[in-house]
Structure 1
Amino acid sequence: MPLSFVSPTESAVPLFLIGADDLDGFLATRSDDDKLWLKANGFSAALGTVCVIPADGKIAAVVAGFGTEKTRARDRFGFGAVRAKLPDGTYALHTTLTGEALEEQLLAWLLSGYVFDTYVKKSKSSVHLVAPESIDVGRIEAIAAGEALTRDLINTPSNDMGPAELEQAARSLAHAHGAEISITSGEALLEQNFPMIHAVGRASPRAPALIDMRWGKAGPTLTLVGKGVCFDTGGLNLKPGASMGLMKKDMGGAATVLGLAKMIMALDVPLRLRVLIPAVENAVSGNAFRPQDVLTSRKGLTVEINNTDAEGRLVLADALALADETPPDLLISMATLTGAARVAVGPDLAPFFATDPKDALVLSAAAAKVADPVWQLPYWEPYESMIEPGIADLDNAPSGGMAGSITAALFLRRFVTESPRYMHFDIYGWNPTAAPARPKGGVGQGARALLAALPELLSL
């Protein structure tokens, strides 16, 4: 099903989106036959419900329930549940929603059309929607396309999504939007001083790489850094089978920044964009990096390895050090970094850290407007000592098991010394249970919130 709207047509069937509180008012405008039909079908405007109104053997109209304020708060994107329940055809939306509330539900409609069918062909319906004329449909379609890219990349299994395939995805995106791209891979990583990216990826036969994409000629500068661990065995600190089962999504940070980059470029946001992705596979072989090794980073900081399964922060550190050498106006990293973040806020919220309190407020406000929930966690200074092992400048896996997301963020912040504003996201990148517009599987987190916040964050 296409992630786009269609042009108005006289044959489009009216689709009324009605909240439970507005049902009586809507019924007052309908014929007696329609009232009886809706009553006979038990239509109460519950969220996601649908009632087809027939006339002369055809569909005269469809009424979709939008529930109550309480049910909508518990299940955002409620309109997305409607699409799969409609017969094939073209529908014209009629609703009292306006502005951001309407845009959210129209995005829900598009995202509900996402299907990952690379490996098994699924039957596709032919359901189309005419959006209200007041809406910038091009913007919503661009956002949906960016989210679809993120989902596709995460959902693709690691045998078909290694560092080379992630590189190709970035190259395709760059080509589509006229961006420049360069790749440093294999032994060249050592020659170009990316020692920790090389150390994490060297055990795999699939060469590690650093992807560097640039777009835009004028405006403020934004650098996005995404963790691209295409599969994480845990290295010599091997994960148990249950923990390894979802590790194809460990490149979710890279997938999310590529999705956000696609949105930015498609919408021609007036800024200069740079995307950095350290792409590796954390594998096991005789040359794998070991517990108790001490690595020297691009920044010059030494890192004691106390767990080879804390590899994401290592590859991000070298990429962040590179970004920091040409300080952007805003630097953002995104990574599926710690289980601690999941324990703290679950899979639905995207925890983030910000060196500038104003940035945190702007992002949180934007996230609420576009239904892309985030939650700020602190750079808690008293925990700095937890990442200082004594034998080296930094410890990649402090003992004790407490404040894991915070200590990881503090670790990354050590590699950002010149950039004035830095934000880090510790995302999950996976929807464990199906929900309206969000099928089980890969999902973007924080990208739409950042896109909405960029005008204020960068004074565009």
Structure 2
Amino acid sequence: MSPRFATQADAPIAVHLVDAEGLQSWIDQQPARLQTWVRGSGFKPALGKVLLIPGASGAVEEVLVGYGTAATRKRSRFHLAAAVPALPEGAYQVASGLPSDLAEQEALGWLLASYGFDRYAGSKPKPVTLVAPDGVDAAKVEAIAAGEFLTRDLINTPANDMGPEELEAAASALATQHGATIEVTRGEDLLTQNFPMIHTVGRASDRAPRLIDMRWGESGPKLTLVGKGVCFDTGGLNLKPGASMGLMKKDMGGAATVLGLAHMIMALGLPLQLRVLVPAVENAVSGNAFRPGDILPSRKGLSVEINNTDAEGRLVLADALAYGAEENPDMMLSMATLTGAARVAVGADLAPFFCDDDATANRLMQAAATVADPLWRMPFWDPYEAQIEPGIADLDNAPKGGFGGAITAALFLRRFAGEDVNYSHFDVYGWQPSAAPARPKGGVGMGARALLEALPDLLGL
């Protein structure tokens, strides 16, 4: 399903946004018939509340949508989208009450609210469309929504239909759509091509591990996106309990997010050279699974002691980051559903990120606020470096103690990205635990829209 705005030819129904402070003033300016209807309904303009206003024929002619109060709006986002589930099928157009500085954000929220995952069961979302508000770049917002839809679809698809091969197929389809090139290193070729940790993590599965390498653009600054593509994570020999395994289809959420961001970049034609690296594996259990206590070689030459096979994401990312850094890109980003520690620290709604460059971090935070894609900066805390140095090997994949787990994981990745690359790491959750405006329960992108907003400044586009 491609998210699309309605047009005037769809005969849109007028929508009036009214907040608690402005309701009475709005009523006073309306014809007597409409005043009577609104007062008689007892309408209260809480966020998402809807009042349908019929015309002389009895058909809906206008809609009143609650916009809450300044306090309630501060506690949520995509306020207009909160009304979408309550609206009947049809096309709509905001006639009044929409703040101009929020027009693009609210229009995007409406498109995102039209998402539904119906591959296996259920009915398609009802067609409730919106005419793009004045001043909104409709094509841009549609491209952003389409990238988010791709991310959600990939995460929501269960692992039996979204293994390494299917993730490769999704990346190939995206490359074909935008005229990008793609190369894939699979199975035993990972060893001959020096990606030993990607191979080791994925070798226990009968679904061959692989490294997906997509490129687009021939001029401009170089941007490399690296996404964790663990299509299912049993925990390996450090087997997860059943309750922790239930959502592991989303452990490729980092890959899904960078592919969604790649779609946005390519669809909008940003003048840069894009590279997307996705190590795609399944962390399974069999006789040849890697073990606690193993010491693994890596592409960069650093040895890694395995103290927990359930800390596998950083291993596959490490080889991919080292490979990406070899081309010295102007900026490199990794996105991964990496640590439970990040969720404990900031919850499910915030995407923590790690960045050594203050100017980059500050611009990302500004962009996050602008596009309602919340981020929170975390530290690459150098004093914790000792915790990832076990002595028997160069690095430890799972330091004992558990404190600062998101930070030590990020420090591990930074060792492979290198000191000469402008590198940021995003520890995303990739899942909406309960439905919210524009975000149904299920897979969700985090951080991609903030990055897209910031890239022109960060890369001088």
Answer yes or no: is the 8 Å Cα contact 1:100–1:370 preserved in 2: no
Q: Which 4+ runs in 1 deviate beyond 6 A?
A: none
Question: Match for residue 49 of structure 1?
Answer: 49
Q: 1:10 to 1:341 in 2, by over 3 A?
A: closer
Matching of residue 27 in structure 1 with residue 40 in structure 2: no
Instruction: Kindly provide the amino acid, as one letter, of the partner of residue 22 in structure 2.
Output: D
CA RMSD of aligned residues (A): 1.2
The one-letter amino acid of 2:256's match is A
Corresponding residue for residue 284 of structure 1: 285
Q: Partner amino acid for 2:432? A: N
Out of 237-246 and 66-75, give the one that drifted further: 66-75
Alignment of 1:396-411 (within 5 A): 396-411=397-412
Provide the rounded CA distance (Å) in 2 between the counterparts of 1:99 and 1:277. 39
Q: Which residue of 2 aligns with 1:115?
A: 116
Deviations 1:346-380 (A, max 9, x none): 00000000021110000000000100000000011
- 1:128 deviation in Å? 2.0
Tell me the TM-score normalised to structure 1 length: 0.98
Equivalent position of 1:227 in the other structure: 228
Secondary structure of the 2:276 match is strand
- Separation in 2, partners of 1:391, 1:247: 31
CA contact (8 A) 1:83 1:112 kept: yes
TM-score, scaled to structure 2: 0.98
How far residue 311 of structure 1 moved from its aligned partner, in angstroms, is 0.2
Q: What's the CA shift for 1:25?
A: 2.4
Q: Any idea what the Cα deviations from partners look like across 1:90-132, whole Å, max 9, x if unmatched?
A: 2221234344411111111001000000000315423222122
Q: CA offsets, 1:7-30, max 9 Å, x none? A: 113832211122222212221221
Structure 2 counterpart of 1:267, one-letter code: L
Structure-2 separation of matches of 1:293 and 1:201? 15
Distance 2:368 2:347 in 1: 17
Matches within 5 A, 1:24-173: 24-56=24-56, 57-173=58-174
Q: Which residue of 2 aligns with 1:312?
A: 313
TM-superposed deviation, 1:70: 1.2
Query: 3-state DSSP class of the match of 2:170?
Result: helix
CA 1:265 to 1:99, structure 2 compared with 1: closer, same or farther past 3 Å? Answer: farther
Of 412-421 and 350-359, more deviation after overlay is shown by: 412-421
Matches within 5 A, 1:376-387: 376-387=377-388
- CA 1:40 to 1:107, structure 2 compared with 1: closer, same or farther past 3 Å? same
Residue of structure 1 equivalent to 2:12? 12
CA distance in 2, matches of 1:146, 1:123: 19
Superposition deviation, residue 295 in structure 1: 0.3
Shift of 1:85: 1.1
Tell me, which stretches of 5 or more residues in structure 2 are unaligned? none
DSSP-derived class of the 1:39 partner: helix
| Other-structure match for 1:438 | 439
Separation in structure 1 between the aligned mates of residue 387 and residue 413 of structure 2, nearest angstrom: 14
Amino acid at match of 1:59: V
Distance 1:167 1:53, change over 3 A: same
Matching residue's letter, 2:115: Y
Whether the 8 Å CA contact 1:324–1:418 is kept in 2: the answer is no
Distance 2:355 2:135 in 1: 35
Report the Cα offset of residue 39 of structure 1: 1.5
Q: Which runs of 5 or more structure 1 residues have no equivalent in the other structure?
A: none
Distance 1:347 1:146, change over 3 A: same
* Cα drift, residue 44 of structure 1: 2.0
Q: CA deviation at 1:89?
A: 1.9
2:220 and 2:337 mapped to 1: Cα distance? 30
Deviates more, 1:79-88 or 1:135-144: 79-88
Name the stretch that deviates more: 7-16 or 449-458: 7-16
AA aligned to 2:285 is V
- Per the TM alignment, residue 74 of structure 1 is displaced from its structure 2 partner at its CA by 1.2
CA contact (8 A) 1:377 1:406 kept: yes
Looking at structure 2, the residues matched to 168 and 186 of structure 1 have their Cα atoms a distance apart, in angstroms, of 16
| Superposition deviation, residue 418 in structure 1 | 5.2
- The alignment partner of 1:108 has SS state of helix
| Secondary structure at 1:316 match in 2 | helix
Bigger Cα displacement from structure 2, 21-30 vs 306-315: 21-30
Instruction: Provide the C-alpha distance between the structure 1 equivalents of 2:6 and 2:190, rounded to a whole number of angstroms.
Output: 47
The residue identity in structure 2 corresponding to 1:199 is: T
1:284-333: CA deviations, max 9, x gaps?
00000000000010000000000000000000000000001001100000
- More moved, 3-12 vs 447-456: 3-12
